[in-house]
A = this chain, B = another copy of it.
Amino acid sequence: MAVRFELLTTDPTGARAGILHTRRGSFKTPMFMPVATHAGFRHLAMEEVKEAGASILLANTYHLMLRPGAEVFKRFGGIHPFMQWDGGVLTDSGGFQIFSLPEDRLITEKGAHFRSFYDNSRQLLSPESSIAMQQAINSEIMMVLDVCIDSRTDEAGTREAMERTHRWAVRSLEAKAARDTGQAMFGIVQGGVFPHLRDESAAFLTKLPFDGFAIGGLAVGETKVERESMTLRATASLPADKPRYLMGVGTPTDLVEAVLRGVDMFDCIIPTKMAQQGYAYTFSGLIRISRSVFRLSDEPLDAECDCYVCKRYTRGYLQHLMRGKHHLGSRFLSVHNVRHYQKLMGRIREGILSGTYAQVYRELKAAIATPKDLKDEANAREVTLKEVG
């Protein structure tokens, strides 16, 4: 096993705390992985991300395949020396980008054929080429290429995508076995919003020698109730001794909900993306810092936070920077939001370890709920992947 999951405790609610041991360190779960799309954050240096407490990042295979390309990662010995990061890296497979990016593409049993939007070159993203790219990137954890579909697809279409995902999962394992790099690989449960398909997908995949399991095909059109219900359905079918990763989710409230349903791992662009739009997360709710009401405020962004931005700068100064759309403001809010997410995971984990997650869950949900006046505008889900960074 290229990773080993040590389950420390399962709280009465079903929430789990553990340690994910990888070749580049051991990471406490539940954990949140900030997204370094292009082998880098839009504004943050790796030192800042590390200082914020993040120890494992996600990078996007699709983007890195197109630029800078496998050749660069081979030259530099993988993503870690390239971007100067000594923590862990999980790479997605590109399946979600193939689904969501509007390039001309043809998806066949072989894989996804499309043209690079950088140089119009022909590209093939197949189970095998995705693994080859992830091997060049040399992440700790690779994901299988899956077939992502809109959650509102009918049952026949959902089954078709799920079954192809299963065939691709087998091919991915074969491609990995053909060249052992010591990297781990996770399978991805699909099945849309159909409970019996989710069960079938989990049953199929858990018979295969994966190091962990992801729950895919969520946060792509379904309701919040459907998402939470499908998350629980999937985790119920997954083995207790393997890590469970809910892909691309989400807001602080989403994390609190999913942990309750037995999820261990998360990634999302929300903390950095919302920072770029001027939103800061705090333990008393979301703040839009560019509001005029903060112009003369000498309070820190979040008095409870220990990030360097909260220790040093005022809401008034951050208001000035974001009002003027200065990149320094996005950088500072990103530092804070990345730190906030790590602190949130820490609180969640403490609750689980002390067997009081039910109470922590209620307290957090009440405290971090998006304020009513920001509910309509702070819609991080309306983020397109082209904006990611």
Given contacts A312-B84, A313-B84, A326-B38, contact A68 B331 (CB under 8 A): no
Determine how close the nearest CB of chain B comes to the CB of A143; give it in whole angstroms.
22
Is A207 interfacial (CB 8 A cutoff)? Answer: no
User: Once the chains bind, are A71 and B327 in contact (CB under 8 Å)?
Assistant: no
Question: What per-residue 1/0 map shows which CB atoms of A290-325 lie under 8 Å from chain B?
Answer: 000001101000000000000011101101110110
User: Once the chains bind, are A76 and B326 in contact (CB under 8 Å)?
Assistant: no
Report the Cα distance A71→B314, complex, angstroms: 15
**Which single member of B76, B298, B324, B328 contacts A75 (CB below 8 Å)?**
B298
Given contacts A82-B316, A296-B75, A317-B82, contact A327 B324 (CB under 8 A): no
Is A107 interfacial (CB 8 A cutoff)? Answer: no
User: Once the chains bind, are A321 and B76 in contact (CB under 8 Å)?
Assistant: no
Report the Cα distance A67→B320, complex, angstroms: 8
Report the Cα distance A100→B128, complex, angstroms: 58
Chain B residue nearest in CB terms to A43: B327
Q: Which residues of B contact A39 (CB under 8 A)?
A: 317, 320
Determine how close the nearest CB of chain B comes to the CB of A317; give it in whole angstroms.
6
- A: which residues have CB within 8 A of B? 38-45, 67-68, 71-72, 75-76, 82-84, 295-296, 298, 312-314, 316-317, 319-321, 323-324, 326-328, 330-332, 389
**Which single member of B44, B295, B326 contacts A389 (CB below 8 Å)?**
B326
- The 9 tightest CB contacts between A and B, nearest first, are A68-B320, A75-B296, A40-B328, A327-B327, A43-B327, A42-B327, A84-B312, A38-B324, A82-B317
Determine how close the nearest CB of chain B comes to the CB of A256; give it in whole angstroms.
30
Determine how close the nearest CB of chain B comes to the CB of A152; give it in whole angstroms.
33
Chain A to chain B contacts (Cβ below 8 Å), 9 pairs: A68-B316, A75-B296, A75-B298, A76-B316, A76-B317, A84-B313, A84-B317, A327-B327, A331-B331
Q: Which residues of B contact A326 (CB under 8 A)?
A: 38, 40, 42, 389
User: Once the chains bind, are B328 and A76 in contact (CB under 8 Å)?
Assistant: no
Q: Which residues of B contact A44 (CB under 8 A)?
A: 328
Q: Which residues of B contact A320 (CB under 8 A)?
A: 38-40, 67-68, 72, 82
